[in-house]
Every structure is written in structure tokens, then in C-alpha cells.
Structure 1
Amino acid sequence: MAHATEIEWMKLTFAELNERAAAGALVIVPVASLEQHGPHLATGVDIICANGVAQRVAHRLAAVGRPVVVTPCVWTGLAEHHVPFGGTVTLDFATFSAVLKGVVRSAARAGFKRVMLLNGHGGNAEAVAVVGGECQTEFGIAVAAGTYWHLAGDAFAPILERQSNVLHACEAETSMIMTLLPEAVRGDRLAEAHGPHSTRPEGQPAAMIRRRSFKDISPSGVIGDARAASAEKGEALLEAAAERIAEELSNAKLWG
């Protein structure tokens, strides 16, 4: 039964999904955005990376006998700060919330009791956390939320040369795309793929949030320096994220 090892919701039949729900499977919902990623990357970076991380996490869980299923990615998010470049799709919060709630509500109605909203876009981070909490209250199931590079924590720093975690269209994201979808990288534009290493002006603490247009912050659209990227780093980053997040999701106390 090949389907027994399948982790993608869309590749399973309704009966097979009913079996997963009855077995207490965790549903992982990748959440992303469609937006500019500098001169050298296609706009689907966050979708590709969120899917890539979610599926690697799921395969690790399944390999040790933990039932799991991954939905298709929620590909639209909150990306107003990238709109001035063009090539960006964004939602308002009410619509984004409604879409996420629709997916989680559907999972609950299909019999699943645990959902992880696994976010892959910085602009979604606070919103996904809020929606996850509201879903728990409204649907009576356990819902966790987090952004994959926040969940990976310090696991990325030893792999990267010019930054300690994910920035934007940077060494980390470019490396992962070189691994996951190399045709999405424009190698002839890599020389231009660098910018400031922070979106915050001097004096703004990390704990203070104020979104600004990336076009005002970085003419290239890049935060960080993608010139140090490699497919080898990308593979190491993806495996580090999958290992750390699978371990975190395996914690029974999280779902108690």
C-alpha cells in the first residue's frame, strides 16, 4: 500500500484521510506568500520553502511511526511591504484569517484534532499566531503556529556565513531554492543580490514592529547577501529545520 507512506493530503483518497484522522494524525498546513524576492529569485520562494520544510518535517515524523498529513500550501499572505516592487500578491488580514480558518475548520470537520500552521513568510508571523489561537477557541482542537526559521532557532547559524538566520532573498533563502527548485534562481543576477542586513533603522529594537516598504529599505529587494548561497547550504538548512521542527512537534506535552 503505497499510500501508507504518502504524506500529502491531495494525494490521498477521502477514505485514506479518514484513516489518518482516526489514527490521530497531525495536519501540517504550510503558509506562505507570493512576492518579490530580489533580482535573482522567482516570486514563489516562500511557497517553495514552506512546502519543502513542511514535507521534510512530515517525512521525518512518518518515518518514526507518527501519523501526519500535509495540506497544499496557503500561498497568499500579508505582503503589503513588497507591493511597490510589483509581482506581489497580498491579502488583508480579514481575508487571510478567513482562508486559514476555513482550512483549519475543514480539517476539524474531517476528524483531525491537531493542526500545525507552519509559516514561511515573515509578514505573516504575528497574524498566523493570532489565527491559530482563535481556531482553537472556535473549533475545539489543538492548533499550534510558528514560522519555520523561528522554530529552527540556532540551528541555521552554523551553516550560514553572512547571517545567523533567514532574512529575505538572502543567503539562506537563495540556498534553499538552489536545492528545492534551482530553475527559480537567476544566476546571472546573483551579483546584484545583496542589501542591508536589517529592515529596522538604527534605534528600533527587535521587539518593536513597524512594517516599511522594502523598496525604501533595499533598492534590490534583498535583505542580506545572497552571493554566499549554495545548494549545499540549502540542503543543510532544510535538514536542520526538518530535524528541529519534527522533534518539537513530537513533544506530547505540546498537544496535551
Structure 2
Amino acid sequence: MGYSIFQNTMVDMTYPQIEEEIKKGACALLPISVVEEHGPHLCTGTDIYLTQAVCGKVKQRLNAMGKPVLIAPPFYWGINSITDSFVGSFTISAETMEALLLDILENLKKWGIHKIFMLNFHGDYVHIRKIAEIAKKAYIERKTEAYFINSKSTFMQFGITEEVPYLLNVPLNQNLLSSMCGDSIDIHAGAAETSWMMLDYEELADPDIAKQLKATNLSMDDLRIWLHGGNSAKEITPSGYCGNPANIDLDAIQRIEKETSEAFASYIYKVL
């Protein structure tokens, strides 16, 4: 159970323990990602494992600042519009995802959790846009204090530029990530995700296979085709990764994880 995504979440707590945290004014972190192929060297749960790991680090930092925190059960039935032609990439409809997440948010609100922060480390455009839409519907229509927190660069990359209370744009230092990935396009099961899984879930990554994989070196034209998903994406990256998995750098990814967790925790603390 050393790598359970339920570790440190409400799933491993009794209901009186949950009630006690709510009485103390606990907010909730809701990890949202997917189960998706990540090449021949990483498990299909990579995105949700890493999202839950960051939630755990954010909780530690908020606790140290005197804020009680609950981590909701990880939500991993999201949208894979790019890798959907690969075995292991589960995807659900946008309507199903919205209905499920709104119900989950409603449960947390009903129990007395007044602020809920949704975290996601799955880079699919359709998936990210849907979370933003869900946050808007929950906040405006259902009067639920649900927030989607993400890096400012990610929001901007996907055209999400609204200055609204339910979207929390966190500025992050991109220099470390750039130094790890270099000039090549490294966005799926490449250097960053491989290093991150080796750091936090070593049992679920195979460095021997990763070190034998060649960098994909996609051009911008290749990337545009890849982003269309389906068989076109599979033809561009037939082995299911985009980047350079062999470039494992545990020191760099540890600094990235630390900076990301601290930045997210600080931003949430301001909202609280």
C-alpha cells in the first residue's frame, strides 16, 4: 500500500475523523486527473498518482501554516482526447465528467466544507477546459466555493485568461522545467513525468526501459497533428510518449515539486 492514491485521503479515515476536521474548518483538496497510457516505462495511473502526491505535499504545507485540510478521494475518470487510441487510456464524456464532479462537490459542500480546491496535472486541453467550466458552474450557479488552481502558464497556453474568483492562476518558475526538457517538446511521459514518478513512485516506473527510449523530437507541425488525437496522434508517437524519458533528473524534479507545492499552498492560504 506504499503507493496507494488513497493514502492520506478521506478514504482512509473514519467518518468521525472527517467530521472532526470539518469542525476545525478544514478545506478540501480534490485531485482530478485520468488513467492514461504513459509509454512502455510508466504506469497508466501516472497523472492521478502525481496529482495526489502534490495534494499531499500541499496539505503538509498548509497544516504547517495552521490550516486543517482534507484530501477528497482522487477523481480519475477524466477526458483523454489525445491518447484515446491507446489501450489503457480511459475516457468519459464531458457530460459524465461534469455530472460526477458536480455531485462530488455538492457532497463536500453538504458536509460543511466551505472551500474546495481542484488540482489537476493532466495536460489534455479538453479535460482542462471542462474543469474550468465545472468550477464556473459550481461557483456561480450552485453557490459552491469550488476553485480550479493551476499554473498561470498552463491556463494561458489553453486560452483560459479570465480574471474570475474560481480560477486561481499561480505563477510558477518555468526555468527548472526548461533546463530539464531542453528545447525539445517534452509534454507526455518524457523527462519530467518519468523523473517525477521515479521520485515519488519508484515502484511504478521502469528506468531501464526509459533509458533505452529515444527522444521523440517532435516539430511544431508534428505537435499540431498529435494534438488532434486518435490514430493521427498514435502515428506521431507510436510508443505513447512525447519527449525524452531517458533524461531522468531527480534533483531537478524534486526542486520543481517543492516549488510547485509551496506556490500552490501559499495561494490557497491567501484564499482561506
Q: Give the conservation status (yes or no) of the 8 Å contact 1:34–1:44.
A: yes
- What are the residue-to-residue correspondences of 1:1-256 with 2, within 5 Å? 8-123=9-124, 124-147=127-150, 150=154, 153-158=171-176, 160-163=179-182, 167-190=187-210, 191-192=212-213, 194-196=215-217, 201=221, 211-213=228-230, 214-252=233-271
Q: Which runs of 5+ in 2 are unaligned?
A: 1-6, 155-168
Shift of the alpha carbon at 1:146? 3.1
Change (3 A) 1:193 1:25: farther
User: Whole-Å Cα distance in 2 between the matches of residues 175 and 249 of structure 1?
Assistant: 26
2:229 corresponds to which letter in structure 1?
R
Q: Give the conservation status (yes or no) of the 8 Å contact 1:37–1:222.
A: yes
Q: Give the conservation status (yes or no) of the 8 Å contact 2:105–2:144.
A: no
User: Whole-Å Cα distance in 1 between the matches of residues 195 and 223 of structure 2?
Assistant: 30
Q: Give the conservation status (yes or no) of the 8 Å contact 1:43–1:87.
A: yes
Change (3 A) 1:203 1:116: closer
Greater alpha carbon shift after TM alignment, 123-132 vs 216-225: 216-225
Deviation track 1:93-129 (CA, whole Å, cap 9, x = no partner) reads 0111111112111100111111111012112211111
In the other structure, the counterpart of 1:3 is none
Shift of the alpha carbon at 1:192? 1.5
User: Whole-Å Cα distance in 2 between the matches of residues 120 and 166 of structure 1?
Assistant: 14
Matched position secondary structure for 2:246: helix
Shift of the alpha carbon at 1:188? 2.7
Matched position secondary structure for 2:19: helix
User: Whole-Å Cα distance in 1 between the matches of residues 103 and 67 of structure 2?
Assistant: 25
Q: Give the conservation status (yes or no) of the 8 Å contact 1:170–1:222.
A: yes
Q: Which runs of 5+ in 1 are unaligned?
A: 1-5, 205-209
Greater alpha carbon shift after TM alignment, 177-186 vs 130-139: 130-139
Deviation track 1:148-207 (CA, whole Å, cap 9, x = no partner) reads 684664424225422489711011111110011112212232121532457x53796xxx
1:162 corresponds to which letter in structure 2?
C
User: Whole-Å Cα distance in 1 between the matches of residues 182 and 117 of structure 2?
Assistant: 27
Q: Give the conservation status (yes or no) of the 8 Å contact 1:168–1:224.
A: yes
Matched position secondary structure for 2:147: strand
Change (3 A) 1:13 1:139: farther
Greater alpha carbon shift after TM alignment, 181-190 vs 64-73: 181-190
Aligned residue pairs, count: 243
Greater alpha carbon shift after TM alignment, 62-71 vs 156-165: 156-165
User: Whole-Å Cα distance in 1 between the matches of residues 266 and 95 of structure 2?
Assistant: 32
Displacement over 4 Å in runs of 4+: 163-166
Which TM-score applies when normalising by structure 1? 0.84
1:132 corresponds to which letter in structure 2?
A
Change (3 A) 1:203 1:178: closer
| Aligned-pair Cα RMSD in Å | 2.7
User: Whole-Å Cα distance in 2 between the matches of residues 51 and 103 of structure 1?
Assistant: 17
